[in-house]
Amino acid sequence: MIDIKLIRENKDLVKENIKKKFQDEKLPLVDEIFELDKEVREVQTKVDTLKGDKNKLSGQIGLLMKDGKKEEAEKIKEKIAESAEEIAKLEAKQAELSSIIKDKMMVIPQIIDDSVPIGKDDSENVEVERFGEPVVPKYEIPYHADIIEAVNGMDKDAAGRTSGQGFYYLLGDIARLHEAMIAYGRDYMIEQGFTYAIPPFMIHSDVVTGVMSFPEMEAMMYKIEGEDLYLIGTSEHSMIGKFKDQILKKEELPVHMTSYSPCFRKEGGSHGLEERGLYRVHQFEKQEMIVICEPEESMDWYNKMWNHTVNIFRNMDIPVRQLECCSGDLADLKVKSCDIEAWSPRQQKYFEVASCSNLGDAQARRLGIRTKGEKGTYYLHTLNNTVVASPRGLIALIENNYQEDGSIKVPKVLQPYMGGKTVIEPKK
């Protein structure tokens, strides 16, 4: 949610930003909010005037009663009562208008950074840089589900019986490899100075609407029936929510934390091979990182964060690239975002394994996350980034470390988490 001062003082900037995001249907909202805000401020002026007059009249009552002018005092009391009734009506109108403004403001997109490429959708995202040489071996790389099944590492049939499509059992060395990848990501981030956390896996609706837009919530979140609780789609939701309505001390900044959680998502639309494999699933595990910092520091943190993910994947012998998200692909709360994509030697193309986002003060404004400086209280900036997530990261790990004999090489950095195991052999 942007600062309403932007609409008061620079409607054209807000409208231009909406056009850059190809959301022209939202343009009329800017003028509607402008007029409603003007009306709210006019009402506030009337309320302030009435309250001032009411206070003056109240001060006269005691003097009149002291002078024995009871009848005049009673007339003033009547005026005060009428004034109080009018004030109550105006304040009710003001509250109603403010609520309408808030609802409309919630769908106005955040002002994107000047560096964001302009494009309609993800097909116009821009490759920035590659890290590591993408290799296509001379031997065939099977579909990841077939590789995993060859080492008895997955059972989706049983998961279908217990939970339905989109769920899975990971077994044996593959389950262990999955946990090794998550644990390595955790320990890498701790070494970078991030505080480790395991957050709540369910959050209230006011936190959900504080960290994401309503369309995102509807598309992603599972609601707990009969309760004001949602299963998290990523630990960023509860990690940012941790600071709701807090005024952080300057010496506490920046907040930088890394968190583990299972994640739950609706993930509709899987077809064909995806149903057999692990690309689209309803439940997965992820190591996340979040930062809450001073506004002028957020872009530096953004670049540090996505670079951490690049380093983690390169340390697991996986080539990756950074892909800059264009304006039309940015969620409404984001100022700037990029995806880290891993190389798939089977498909001979890259696919998303992580996403880094700078949300400016959008989440902080919705959730009331602030600090106090010389010029008063102001909103902080929030950022989030995937450290590593499974099964997407697991797929990249398996494909890039698959060997001609059907075995899977365990990268050196993961071997301590696998009891020293260097290779996962196919079952005879």
Among residues 325, 326, 182, 344, which one has the least CA distance to residue 263?
182
d(Cα 371, Cα 342) in Å, to the nearest integer? 38
Q: Sign of torsion, CA 303 309 315 318?
A: negative
Q: Are 231 and 267 in contact (CB under 8 A)?
A: no
Tell me: the pLDDT tens digits for 2-21?
999 999 999 999 999 999 99
Long-range contacts (CB closer than 8 Å, 24 or more residues apart) made by 372-381: 372/247, 372/250, 373/250, 377/247, 378/295, 379/295, 380/248, 380/253, 380/292, 380/293, 380/294, 380/295, 381/292, 381/293, 381/294, 381/295, 381/297, 381/298
Rounded CA separation 361/366 (Å): 8
Task: State the pairing for strand pair 154-155/169-170.
Answer: antiparallel
Residue identified by tokens 């008895």 is 152
C-beta separation of 116 from 325 below 8 A: yes
Percent helix, strand, coil in the chain, to 5, is 50, 20, 30
CA distance 294 to 284: 32
Q: Where does residue 376 fall: left (phi above 0), alpha (psi -120 to 50 degrees), or beta otherwise?
A: left
- Among the ranges given (53-57, 142-146, 178-182, 290-294), the one the predictor scored with the smallest mean pLDDT: 53-57
Percent of the chain with pLDDT over 70: 97
Res. 273 pLDDT band, cuts 50 70 90: very low
Confidence bin at 278 (pLDDT 50/70/90): confident
CATH architecture of 122-424: 2-Layer Sandwich (3.30)
Query: Given a cut of 70, is residue 271 above it in pLDDT?
Result: no
Quick check: 272 pLDDT over 50?
Answer: no
Tell me if domain 4-105 and domain 122-424 are identical in fold.
no
Amino acid 216: pLDDT: 75
Helix (H) or strand (E) holding 370: strand 370-373
**78: confidence class by pLDDT, cuts 50, 70, 90:** confident
Q: Over 60: is that where the pLDDT of 274 sits?
A: no
Out of 76-90, 278-292, 355-369, which region has the weakest mean confidence (pLDDT)? 76-90
Residue 379 pLDDT > 80 = yes
Per-residue model confidence (pLDDT) at position 275: 58
Q: Does residue 64 have a pLDDT over 50? A: yes
pLDDT tens per residue across span 330-339: 999 999 999 9
Return the domain boundaries, the chain. Answer: 4-105, 122-424
Residues 6+ apart with CB under 8 A from 374: none
Domain 4-105 CATH (choose: 3.10.180.10, 1.10.132.20, 1.10.287.40, 3.30.70.360) = 1.10.287.40
What is the residue-averaged pLDDT of the chain?
A: 93
Contacts of 318 (CB under 8 A, 6+ apart): 132, 342, 343, 396, 397, 400
* SS3 of residue 287 by DSSP: strand
pLDDT, tens digit, for every residue of 108-162?
999 999 999 999 999 999 999 999 999 999 999 999 999 999 999 999 999 989 9
